[in-house]
Amino acid sequence: MDKNFYITTPIYYPSAKPHMGHAYSSIIADFFARFKKIDGYDVYFLTGTDEHGLKIQRAAEKKNVEPLKFCNEISQTFKDLSKTLNLSNTDFIRTTEERHKNSVQKLWNKLEQNDDIYLSKYSGWYSVSDEAFYNEDEIVEENGKKLAKSSKSPVEWMDEESFFFRLSKWEKSLLKYYKENPNFIQPNARKNEVISFVESGLKDLSISRKSFSWGIKVPNNDNHVIYVWLDALTNYISALGYPDTNSELFKKFWPASIHLIGKDILRFHAVYWPAFLLAAGIELPKKIYGHGWILSDDEKMSKSKGNILDPLEIIQKYGLDPLRYYLIKEVSFGNDGNISKERLEDCINSDLANNYGNLCQRTISFATKNCENRIPKEINFIDEDRLILDNFTSNIDNIRSQIDNQNINYYIDFIVNSLFAANKYFNDQEPWKKKDDPIRLNTIIYTTLEIIRKISFMLYPIIPEISLKALKIFNIKEDQINLDSIAQHDYLNLGDKINNIGILINKIEKNKENV
Ligand code: MSP
């Protein structure tokens, strides 16, 4: 079986410093990457920055610096954020790197050779903020200003010579591909939007600009730079060494298992990107998943709206893992989600501190007192123990397939329910009343410790630092975490030493004010 997994985040515009929406995409991608890693996959996890185009050129001009210098600085803040978010990314690509520029020009050549590019003139609406062309019916007028209906960003009229990609030629092939690969675009509701957009008729796409210079030059034509989306999308293959499709990396990881993106950039990924690939004779990625938005006061966060939540501030105050847990749990995956400090505090207190932290602490303190700081030496499982342990065994394949369908909500519910069940088990079994039945007492402690191990393994993709801290109880290291062993009930060695790790998660003193 193919045990390679290639996941990507969108590459971010370094036009302003990162915000919570960027952090969200990256954290979710990291969750999948870590899950696959502990399931024995060889994982390639790519993120990076999208540095060309008019939007960046203008942002640099505003600051009066050279675009590359401007990008170097902000791209670094995205790189730093990937460390701060504890991302397990394999690579961080910048579109200003030579490896990428070469790839994009080679892809252009390929499209040209295949007669998918021609020179003409573009007259129409363009949004610099979205770096997107819009048809007349996609424009609204508000307070005398022309805006793109979908994003509400201002559009300007563009009238210039441009190279075009024969997108219309690929309309039928795309529709056929969507039909034959029903999971290619997810979630389903978004797939339907894409299909109706393509069914309504595709026009050829302008793929070069002449009126500014910040971009990758069109091969053999220095007057044009390549459209920033053709440039940016190519990152997914330039990182693997395209045009060398025979390289180890390319053969191993292409086609990508999943491009994780925000719903705002679905059209580029689900229409343009597959069309470019079809035209170049390159296999298509297996899945495009468009997640929802993180909302602040019911609106998408954006610089122009001034409602940006700074992930760094939240992390400084609450810690990284609580933020990761909160975003993964509270934003129902695939949908938009509002975030608030109050809900974040609730999550830390109820799920992390009460449910998980307390379970660990009271079990350890019991084991410390009654089993001399060791995993019990003699045990004898009865039905109640097997029942709670078997719930993991019997669900493991289901969990794998839920994750393959990006059902993060199922995964997190399973964990929360398991934590409730474990706390209930411990209470119901009343180990404190079993002092004169040491085998029973030992078995309850063993069972609970084993559940803590299993849940900590499952929590690792969500809250890696806290999970690793909990696993210190058993001296289990990161490279020993594996999903298969969740199905195993006798993983913990009888009589091994355990460590008292102290408080796992501190509770938050609640205050009422929202972020
Ligand atoms: N550069 C392009 C992507 C090119 S990919 C080949 C781009 N960059 S971006 O910085 O504007 O946004 C990138 C992604 O950040 C969005 O698609 C989305 O995944 C994420 N988010 C930005 N704002 C967001 C929210 N408010 N909520 C959730 N995610 C959003 O588009």
Ligand 1 mutation target, pool 231, 261, 326, most atoms within 8 A of CB:
261
Q: For residues 360 and 471, what is the distance between their CA atoms, to the nearest angstrom? A: 10
**By alpha-carbon position, which residue is closest to atom 24 of ligand 1?**
21
CB atoms < 10 A from the CB of 81, how many?
21
Closest atom of ligand 1 relative to the 10 alpha carbon: 5
Non-local (6+) Cβ contacts of 84 within 8 A are 311, 312, 315, 320
pLDDT tens figures, 492-512: 999 999 999 989 999 988 765
Distance 7 CA to ligand 1 centre (A): 16
For ligand 1, the distance from its centroid to the CA atom of residue 216, given in whole angstroms, is 21
Distance 264 CA to ligand 1 centre (A): 7
Q: In 193-214, which positions are buried (b, 16+ CB within 10 angstroms) versus exposed (e)? A: ebbeebeeebebbbbbbbeeeb
Task: Work out which ligand 1 atom sits closest to the CA atom of 235.
Answer: 6
Question: Residue 55 C-alpha to ligand 1 middle, in angstroms?
Answer: 14
Which atom of ligand 1 is nearest to 233's Cα? 6
pTM exceeds cut of 0.85: yes
Dist. CA 46 → ligand 1 center (Å): 15
H/E segment holding residue 510: none
Asked whether 473 and 452 are in contact (CB, 8 A), the reply is yes
Ligand 1 atom having least distance to the Cα of 296: 26
Q: Per-residue pLDDT tens, the chain, 515 aa: give them.
A: 679 999 999 999 999 889 999 999 999 999 999 999 999 999 999 999 999 999 999 999 999 999 999 999 999 999 999 999 999 999 999 999 999 999 999 999 999 999 999 999 999 999 999 999 998 999 999 999 999 998 899 999 999 999 999 999 999 999 999 999 999 999 999 999 999 999 999 999 999 999 999 999 999 999 999 999 999 999 999 999 999 999 999 999 999 999 999 999 999 999 999 999 999 999 999 999 999 999 876 676 666 666 667 899 999 999 999 999 999 998 889 899 888 888 899 999 999 999 999 999 999 999 988 888 999 999 999 999 999 999 999 999 999 999 999 999 999 999 999 999 999 999 999 999 999 999 999 999 999 999 999 999 999 999 999 999 999 999 999 999 999 999 999 899 999 999 999 899 999 887 655 44
Pocket of ligand 1 (CB under 6 A): 10-13, 21-22, 24-25, 50, 232-233, 235, 261-262, 264-265, 293-294, 300-301
124 bridge partner residues: 158
Nearest CA to ligand 1 atom 6: 233
Q: Whose CA is nearest to atom 25 of ligand 1?
A: 21
* Residue bearing the CA closest to ligand 1, atom 22: 21
Ligand 1 center to 249 CA (angstroms): 26
Question: How would DSSP label each residue in 413-481?
Answer: HHHHHHHHHHHHHHHHH-GGG-TT-HHHHHHHHHHHHHHHHHHHHHHTTT-HHHHHHHHGGGT--GGG-
Our mutation pick for probing the ligand 1 site, out of 12, 100, 229, counting the most ligand atoms within 8 A of Cβ, is: 12
Phi, psi of 42 (to 5 degrees): -85, 115
Name the residue of 7, 8, 9, 13 to mutate for ligand 1: max ligand atoms within 8 A of Cβ: 13
Cα distance between residue 298 and residue 19, in whole Å:
16
Ligand 1 geometric centre to CA of 17 (Å): 12
Burial of 118 (0-12, 13-18, 19+ CB in 10 A): exposed
Q: From atom 17 of ligand 1, which residue's Cα is the shortest distance away? A: 262
Residue 49 Cα to ligand 1 middle (Å): 11
Locate the ligand 1 atom nearest the alpha carbon of residue 261 and give its number: 19
pLDDT of 215-273, one tens digit each?
999 999 999 999 999 999 999 999 999 999 999 999 999 999 999 999 999 999 999 99
Determine the Cα–Cα distance for residues 248 and 33; give it in Å rounded to an integer.
20
Nearest CA to ligand 1 atom 15: 22
DSSP one-letter code for 493: P
First-residue to last-residue Cα distance in the chain: 46
Q: What is the dihedral of CA 183, 261, 10, 461, to 10 degrees?
A: -90
Supply the residue whose CA is at minimum distance from atom 18 of ligand 1: 262
Q: Whose CA is nearest to atom 7 of ligand 1?
A: 12
Which residue, judged by its Cα, is nearest atom 10 of ligand 1? Answer: 12
Q: How far is the CA of 418 from the centre of ligand 1 (A)?
A: 34
Q: Which of 293, 297, 326, 336 to mutate for ligand 1's pocket (most ligand atoms within 8 Å of CB)?
A: 293
Report the nearest atom of ligand 1 relative to the CA of 265.
17
**CA nearest to 419, candidates 335, 357, 341, 469:** 357
